[in-house]
Amino acid sequence: MKEYQAVIVRLSRHTREDEDALTDLLNERGRRGWHAALMTQDSQRLTIIFQRETDREAEGGAMHGA
């Protein structure tokens, strides 16, 4: 099963700041197992949909490693 997360990044007029913010966002989500599945952009914002696989046992309340 997959779970999704939507993130809206407001763009500034400073390209370098936008690049840094986007790089940080992608790296942080990647470390948590998320990957960008869809991106859309208009003049003021970038919308990113992240997805990752979920563990069905964890959803059912089963304990891991016990």
Q: Which of 58, 47, 50 is nearest to 34 (CA)?
A: 50
Let me know if residue 25 belongs to a domain: yes
pLDDT tens, position by position, 27-49 = 999 999 999 999 999 999 999 99
Q: Please tell me the predicted confidence (pLDDT) of residue 66.
A: 43
Domain encompassing residue 40 = 2-58
Let me know if residue 66 belongs to a domain: no
User: What is this structure's pTM?
Assistant: 0.75
| Whether pLDDT at 64 is above 90 | no
Count of domains in the chain?
1
Average pLDDT (23-30) is 97
Let me know if residue 64 belongs to a domain: no
Upper half-sphere CA count for residue 13 (Cβ side, 13 Å): 0
Let me know if residue 40 belongs to a domain: yes
